[in-house]
Structure 1
Amino acid sequence: MGQMHFHVSDAAAEFFHQCRWNDAYLCGIEGVPWQTRNIFHPDNSQASGPVSSPSELPEGFAKSGNAGGRLTLTRSVATSAKLLITCPVEGIGYRVLTTCSLRCLDAPHRLIVELARGCCYRVRTQADTWQRGGLSLNEHFEELLAEGTRHFLDALQPKSASVNPHSGASLVSASLDAEKESAKSAIRAITILEKASSELGELFSSQSLAFRRSREPRLSTMMAVGVSPEACCAANGSSSGRPISPAGPIPSGGTAPGGNKPGSTATLANAVAGFGEPTSVIDNGIVPAFNAAAVRISWGDIEDASGTPDFTEVSKILDECASLGMRVIGGPVIDHREGLLPDWLTLMDNDFEKLLSSMTQFVEATVNQFRGQVHLWNAASGLNLSGPLRLDDEQVMRFSIGVLQTIRRCDPTTPVIMSIEQPCGEYLARHADGISPIHFADALLRSGLGLAGIGLNFRFGYDHGETHPRSALEFAQLIDRWGTLNAPLLVQLSIPAAPGNDPAARLQTSPVSLSPSINNQAELWARQQHEFAKPLIETLLAKQIVHAVVWDGASDRAPHVMPHAGVIDSNGNPRPMLPYLTKLREELLM
């Protein structure tokens, strides 16, 4: 067993207890998390002993005068590692902070100082790398970097540490003063360096976009919105009798060939927003904001009973896509998340061969039904997670390859992708089950089945299945890591714009604020959605390897999967994301 210890001084305790330390984890050079058990040992004798969650601490403990202690992370190996922990950053919100690579020692590392060191290293090295590649840095960034570095150096050697006291009492006093100064300087360094990181990310995206536009005045990147068949059903005032399900993303440009004639007056716009009037959504700007649509064609939504798929509502949606000249991403055909697979699969009594046969039968029927109407197949999503099927690693690969082979056999000309849930692998830090996301994707790409690309599903701000919030700089580095697979990427984003329960959402995971300063006001949440998503989307558009960006949320008035993720709220009012995406498409995209 390997343990890594971090000292939390009393001076840094308030900052630490605002961090989500119970979700912290350790990872190696590849960025793949180890399964980790986190324990906080309070120094305060009034505390009840070691705790594994902030909720176990006494009320008001974080603000007490003696709230420091030691954070211990335990894993199966004793090699060096980096700590990743979600912390509040003043003026920015919650962000993942990363230490540099640290050794496993009996003595604890100083947590706040090591986080400040990681911030300093990350910003300085990335700025140097991008500057060598032609990025121009501005004066504001240089000032932030210099000031943040100065505060980090002060944290390493506070002025009080240079005092040469003549008595034991003054020595203790000087030591306490030095510890307070060090913590204060480290927190200040983190704040300023994270602002420098945001500035650097903005410089990269703006200059990279300008370079791309000099060669490609209109970017070919697809900006897609998720569309659900149940949303179409709701727009028509009818019910399929099936549970509410989410809508997927759509790619850009072109007219879908063939297809059945629409059996309803509902347009795609109705399906997206759930409005009764065909022109309502267009008037509100949803369709002009996107150049593609991702239609959810999923096993759990279509086949309520074994062998009896109902394609009626999906056909209507695809016909509307064709009438609007929008290309279609169909899927995920298999959504391997709890509650999104057919209920009757539980009757198979862990018979994998029977499961494989049923899956093949459904995929074959689906692809044959919609061949020629779908321009990109999203074969499956979330098979890298343990999921409701509880498959072992060998079964996961056989199941994944079976899905891909079936689609390729039935529709050999349409490109196929496979989507990854939680691409940073946070699930590995808490559960031994599951496959490393990047290794899983690499194995599929090497399978020789002609996989056209990889989908990355990022869900920020939820209490289950979320990707921990990252800055645009960290996000860019993450996309670059996935880019080493040399496969086109489709990136899906889900970010809540309201707190609390969402009755129209299929998955009842709870939204979690991306900032400690945000209360339960829906307007603040909607603004937070826009402010958090904007730099990420612009970073994605700056990356040529990203071929499609999917916004997984159209209207909260219509049935959907993720709570409160729509660009239109449950009352039919546009959120700040909608005009932003509309303007983005008008100025940049085809």
Structure 2
Amino acid sequence: MRFSIHPVDQLDNWPEIRRAYVRGFDGRVHPTRVEIDGNVVAYRRQNSDSGKLHVALPIEGFGRPMASTSSLPEREEPYILLVELARGKLAQLRDQLAAWNMAGMDVPKDFPPLMQESHELLAEAVSNQDDAPRASEVARQSLETTFRAADVLSKSYIAQRLAVRRARTTHLPASLGCGLGHAPPNPDWEDSFVNAFNAALVPIEWRFIEPEEGKYEWDTNDAQVEWCEKNRLLMTAGPLLDLSPEGLPDWLWQWQHEVLNLQSFVSDFVETAITRYAGRIRFWEVAARANTGGALALSEEDRLSLAARTLEIASQVDQDNQLMVRVDQPWGAYQAKGKHRFSPLQFVDALVRSGVGLSGVNLEVAIGYHPNGCTRRDLLDFSQLIDLWSCLQIPLRVTLAFPSSVQPDEFSKQNQRLDGSAGANAWSDRMQADFVENFLPMLMSKQVVVGIYWTHISDAVPHDFANAGLVRPDGGPKPSLDRIIQYRREYWT
């Protein structure tokens, strides 16, 4: 599939063009090889089925969000990329408008003029494809207008859905929580945490609990559990098994080629951890990031088997516990590397069908991180992601991460780095707070979402995502924490 870029100097400031991928009609991402020749970019795949190209690009007022074409057939003549992106975004918006209309949504008055303008600009771009630079410029205007229209429509949907939910109950039936990090509760943020959240994630992770084989360190987690009980916070613990790079204890590397022995070690730790907190913690995140992997030399089948075995053991320890798995990169862009056969949805569906006691899934949406994070998305993309995952018919939780700075973070995972293509100004306290203000209500409006969590509270303790905490290393709160407190007071008290 080939696309022409106009003007060609756009390629100099468009690094995402080399990370674009093609998604098939079944939702799976095809392994994609990128070739650039002049102003023509070719995306090579092993098959010639129709597909949608997904690529992030700068959109005024929205940063550098992901956009996609409509489903396009292979052909020798290059498509004009911006024209096809404008066509694809408008088609996505039209489809969603029809669905929300059928559900009884009232269309806001400022939406139709934007929609009309998008159509007119796209029509002009399509009719001027003989003049590719002109067509590209007009298509970009259409694309930017469509993003604005989608934002207006999505925010109206959110407001109407929240009004319906508030009419049914004064308290949203969902937990609002945050990770405590790998340190005891700190007086710098204890009061703010309780004001902002009604739930907490206690990070009972193998690499911290058993850094040396047979030597367990429970003091931090014991203190966190006692603090949560004192403050009447709903606790979720885990992930017990983190299959991402740096997610497992270092001493396990000697067993990376012996899956059966590895399963034995996993079973012992899971049983020990759940038994220790029996009757105190009912919600357990048993496995995390098994869909992408990176820990040890485990194949996709090994990770699926290990996750299933971990769920099975956890269920046998206490059948009353609620067990879930965490899925990172839920849009599945990682499949473009050609190392994964299952899409994220297919991976979890296999666990659901195996009957091992899975009672929920946690979608990790970490915006702006590479290689294990997600590209920016607009509200429409985010809404459609939740709707897609609702087809599993099991409760969803969503864990959010968004950076507030590009400065080095000594306490974050070394394999997680900020995506520099967005520029230094893309990540700031204000941008993090804006992300909370826009995307938290979207999740609150979705009935299938039973829990909304922020990745960690403070940047002063070891954590996964750089500068994504709600409290600075010096103990000062970020503006995003105040935004969350406001939503807590409005919808949960």
Equivalent position of 1:362 in the other structure: 269
- Tell me the SS of whatever aligns to 1:20: helix
User: Hey, what does 1:140 align to over in structure 2?
Assistant: 110
In structure 1, what residue type is equivalent to 2:371?
A: H
State the distance in 2 between where 1:81 and 1:412 align: 44
Task: Determine whether 1:191 maps to 2:98.
Answer: no
Structure 2 partner of 1:181: 134
Identity of aligned residues (%): 29
**Distance change (3 Å), C-alpha of 1:563 and 1:104:** same
Q: Work out which of the residue numbers 14, 26, 33 in structure 2 matches 1:30.
A: 26
Partners in 1 of 2:304 and 2:82 — Cα distance?
41
Give 1:45's aligned residue: none
Which residue in the other structure is 2:160 paired with? 207
User: Any idea what the Cα deviations from partners look like across 1:338-372, whole Å, max 9, x if unmatched?
Assistant: 11210001122511111111111111111111111
Aligned to 2:390: 483
Q: Which amino acid aligns with 1:519?
A: N
Within the alignment, does 1:441 sit opposite 2:441 as a pair?
no
- Distance in 1 of aligned mates of 2:15 and 2:437: 24
* 1:575 Cα deviation after fit: 1.4
Residue 386 of structure 1 deviates from its aligned partner by 3.4
Residue of structure 2 equivalent to 1:421: 328
Distance 1:180 1:397, change over 3 A: closer
Asked whether the 8 Å contact 1:332–1:378 carries over to 2, the reply is yes
The match for 2:176 is: 223
Q: Is this contact kept in 1: 2:90–2:118, CA < 8 A?
A: yes
Superposed, 1:256-271 pairs within 5 Å as 268=185, 270=186
Q: Aligned letter for 2:120? A: R
Equivalent position of 2:431 in the other structure:
528
AA aligned opposite 1:231: A
Could you give the per-residue CA deviations for residues 494-517 of structure 1, whole angstroms, max 9, x where no partner exists?
Answer: 11111031012234522236855x
Q: How does 1:4-403 map to 2 (within 5 A)?
A: 4-10=1-7, 13-14=9-10, 17-18=13-14, 20-42=16-38, 69-158=39-128, 178-228=131-181, 230-232=182-184, 268=185, 270=186, 278=187, 280-282=188-190, 285-348=192-255, 350-403=257-310
Corresponding pairs, count: 493
More displaced 10-residue stretch of structure 1: 31-40 or 483-492 = 31-40
Query: 2:322, 2:62 → 1: CA distance?
Result: 39
Report the Cα offset of residue 125 of structure 1.
1.8
Contact 2:151 2:379 in 1 (8 A): yes
Task: Letter of the 2:183 partner, please give it.
Answer: A
TM-score, length-normalised on structure 2?
A: 0.96
AA of the residue aligned to 1:281: W
CA distance in 2, matches of 1:570, 1:513: 22
Partner of 1:169: none
Read off the aligned partner of 1:436 and give its amino acid letter: S
Equivalence for 1:264? none
User: Is the Cα contact below 8 Å between 2:195 and 2:485 reproduced in 1?
Assistant: yes
Task: Give the Cα–Cα distance (whole angstroms) in 2 for the partners of residues 8 and 378 of structure 1.
Answer: 45
| Cα distance in 2 between the residues matched to 1:443 and 1:433 | 14
Q: Distance in 2 between matches of 1:513 and 1:130?
A: 36
Change (3 A) 1:282 1:317: closer
**How much has 1:468 moved relative to structure 2?**
1.5
Q: 1:120 is matched by which residue type in structure 2? A: L
For the residue of structure 2 that corresponds to 1:139, the secondary structure is coil
Q: Bigger radius of gyration, 1 or 2?
A: 1
Task: Write the distance in 2 (CA, Å) between the matches of 1:434 and 1:314.
Answer: 36
* Alignment map for 1:434-583 (pairs within 5 Å): 435-512=342-419, 515-516=422-423, 519=425, 525-583=428-486
Alpha-carbon contact 2:332-2:344 (below 8 Å) kept:
yes
Structure 2: tracts of 5 or more residues without a match: none
Unaligned runs of 5+ in 1: 43-68, 162-174, 233-267, 271-277
> 2:413 & 2:85 partners in 1: Cα distance?
38
Q: Secondary structure at the match of 2:430?
A: helix
Structure 1 residues 379 and 500: alpha-carbon distance in aligned structure 2, compared to 1, 3 A threshold: same
Q: Is the 8 A contact 1:327 1:375 kept in 2?
A: no
Cα pair distance change 1:578/1:294, threshold 3 Å = same
- Encode CA deviations 1:77-126: one digit per residue, 9 max, x unaligned: 11000000011101211111110000011111111100010111111221
* Rounded Cα–Cα distance in structure 1 between residues aligned with 2:26 and 2:215: 44
Q: 1:9 Cα deviation (Å)?
A: 2.7
CA contact (8 A) 1:567 1:578 kept: yes
Matched residue SS, 1:452: strand
1:455/1:490 contact within 8 Å kept: yes
Q: How far apart, CA to CA, are the structure 1 residues paired with 2:177 and 2:387?
A: 22
CA distance in 2, matches of 1:455, 1:509: 19
Cα distance between partner residues in 2 of 1:28 and 1:424:
13
The C-alpha deviation readout for 1:47-77, integer Å capped at 9, x for no partner, is xxxxxxxxxxxxxxxxxxxxxx111001111
1:514·1:528 contact (CA, 8 Å) conserved in 2?
A: no
